[in-house]
Amino acid sequence: MKKRVFGRQLSRERDTRRALFRSLIRALVEHGKINTTKAKAKAIQADIDKLVNLAKKDSISAKRRIFAILGNDKETTKKLLKEVVPSFSDRSGGYTRIVPLPARRGDAAQIVRFEWVKEIEVKKTKATKEKTTKTVKKKESKSTKKK
């Protein structure tokens, strides 16, 4: 009997399940929306809310914890802290939505679009100028000249 057992197994072992959740969370932070099965989306929805609430604390320990949760990925952590969290400063929860899509053709699995409730404003970074290299012509030596 499964009494007081919390969480979804998704027919995977613990390490595989954690890796799956981590990759889904990273994909959502990077791309803003992902298409996945309904069970996977529901499984990570609470984790996303906890991650955003942790990022709102803006302490060094919270940043380190987020960095560890996202698999030591600096770019994804930076994007979460600089772009995602400021857009949800007025909300206390419910940062994602699940939009149903047609069932998958091969196995009729219920597919959903998992996305942020608000559109995330992407800040564009300035393009850095490429360094130009100068070609230096070598002077011919006069030692080979006959007298």
Q: In the numeric block, which tokens belong to residue 29?
A: 């932070």
DSSP assigned state of 93:
S
Q: Mean pLDDT in each 10-residue stretch from start to end of the chain (147 residues)?
A: 84 95 96 96 96 95 96 95 94 96 97 95 64 72 62
End-to-end CA distance of the chain: 105
What are the angstrom distances between the C-alpha of 3 and each of 10, 44, 64, 80? Answer: 18, 22, 34, 36
- H-type helices in 2-137, by residue range? 14-31, 38-56, 60-69, 74-79, 85-87
Tell me what pLDDT residue 144 has: 62
Task: Report whether CATH 3.90.1030.10 matches the domain 14-116.
Answer: yes
Tell me what pLDDT residue 137 has: 73
Nearest to 58 by CA among 70, 66, 50, 49: 66
Tell me what pLDDT residue 98 has: 98
Measured between alpha carbons, how far is 11 from 106 in angstroms, rounded to an integer? 19
Tell me what pLDDT residue 141 has: 65
**Residue located via tokens 């991650």:** 51
Q: In the numeric block, which tokens belong to residue 144?
A: 């080979």
